[in-house]
Structure 1
C-alpha cells in the first residue's frame, strides 16, 4: 500500500489538507498527518485538527509522497522549520513525490527544490524565487514535483496526487464517486 505524509502547522489551510487526506484515503492510500507540534492544531480558518503524530516521530519513516497545505501563517511556520526543509530535501533525493499547494510551494522553493522547475502557487507566493518557472494553471507537474494554486484547486490537486500514486483508472473511479 502506498503511503502519504501530510504536514500541518498552526495556521495551515484546513480545506487543502482535509481535501487531500479525504481523496487519498478514498483511493486506498495510507495517510499520516504530522503536526509541527504535538496535540490539536488550529487551521487558518479556525478549524482544529488533531494530527496523527509529529514531524519528529516520522523522521526516517518511509513515505511515497509528502504534501504541504498552504495557508497563513502555517506556510511561514513550515518554511521556518529546519526539520521540514530537511525532510523535503530527503524525499526529493530519494526520488519520492513532493507536493505543495497555495502558498506552500514557497517552502519547496526555500528547500531549493524548485530551482529551474515549473511550479504554481497562490498569486505572489513565489515572487521572491526568480529561479522558479512560475505557471498559472491549477496544477503543475514537473517530474516528481506537483504544485497547485490554492483552496479552489484542492480537489484537482488531490486527484492528481492520487493518480500519481495509483493509476488513472483509480483516479477516475474515485472522481466518479464524488459526483463532480
Structure 2
C-alpha cells in the first residue's frame, strides 16, 4: 500500500539522518517529501562540515499533516534549533500527534518535540546532550538504540539508523495509533 511521508528539515540537518531514512522509505515503494520553510534546496551538515544540498519538495506553509501518513524529524544541531522556534513547524508536528500518526525523530530532532509540547509522559531517547532537556519537559528518557512509544519512534545518533529505519517503517505499516496524541 502506498504511503506518503513528510521529512521536516531546514539548513543544517545531519545528512545521514535525512538521507538514510528517505532512502529506506523509498525502498518500501513509498513517497518521502522533504518539507521545509524554505523553497529551492537546503544544505546538509555532514558530521564536521557542510554537506550536499537537497531539493525541497514542498514548502511548509503549503502542506498539512493530513497530506501525509507519517513524519520524520532528522537531527543535526542547527536544523532542530531553527525549526523549534518556527510556529508553522510546531503546528505541523502537533497535527501529526492530533491525527494519531507515526512520528520518528533522531539525534537532536526531539528538541522540536519539546517545543511542540508532545513529550510529557512519553518514553523516548535522543542524543545524550539533550537528555536533560527532554527530562525537564516531562519525558521518560532512556539511553537505547531505538525507543518506540505508541507510534513515536526515537533514536540517538547516526549509528542507530538501521534500527531507527526498521522501527519507523514498522510503525508506519501499523498506521494510526490512538494513543499517539497530545
User: Does TM, scored on the shorter chain, surpass 0.5?
Assistant: yes
Of 28-37 and 10-19, deviating more is: 28-37
Counterpart position of 1:29:
30
C-alpha separation in 1, matches of 2:21 and 2:56: 14
Counterpart position of 2:68:
63
2:124 pairs, out of 101, 119, 123, with 119
Structure 1 runs of 4+ aligned residues shifted over 4 Å read none
Of 5-14 and 122-131, deviating more is: 122-131
Following superposition, the deviation at residue 77 of structure 1 comes to 0.7
Counterpart position of 1:132:
139
Following superposition, the deviation at residue 103 of structure 1 comes to 0.5
CA displacement, residues 59-116 of structure 1 (integer Å, 9 cap, x when unaligned): 3642110111000211101111111110111110111111110001121122111101
C-alpha separation in 1, matches of 2:96 and 2:172: 15
Give yes or no for the alignment of 1:166 onto 2:173.
Answer: yes
C-alpha separation in 2, matches of 1:60 and 1:161: 17
Counterpart position of 1:109:
114
Q: What SS does the aligned partner of 2:132 have? A: coil
Structure 1 or 2: more strand by fraction: 2
Q: Normalized against structure 1, the TM-score is what? A: 0.88
2:157 pairs, out of 150, 164, 176, with 150
CA displacement, residues 106-152 of structure 1 (integer Å, 9 cap, x when unaligned): 21122111101101001121312321101111111000211110111
C-alpha separation in 2, matches of 1:11 and 1:76: 9
Of 157-166 and 78-87, deviating more is: 157-166
Instruction: Note if contact 2:65-2:96 (Cα within 8 Å) is conserved in structure 1.
Output: no
Q: What SS does the aligned partner of 2:6 have? A: strand
Counterpart position of 1:72:
77
Change (3 A) 1:60 1:24: closer
Q: Normalized against structure 2, the TM-score is what? A: 0.87
CA RMSD, 1 decimal: 1.4
Q: How many residues align?
A: 167
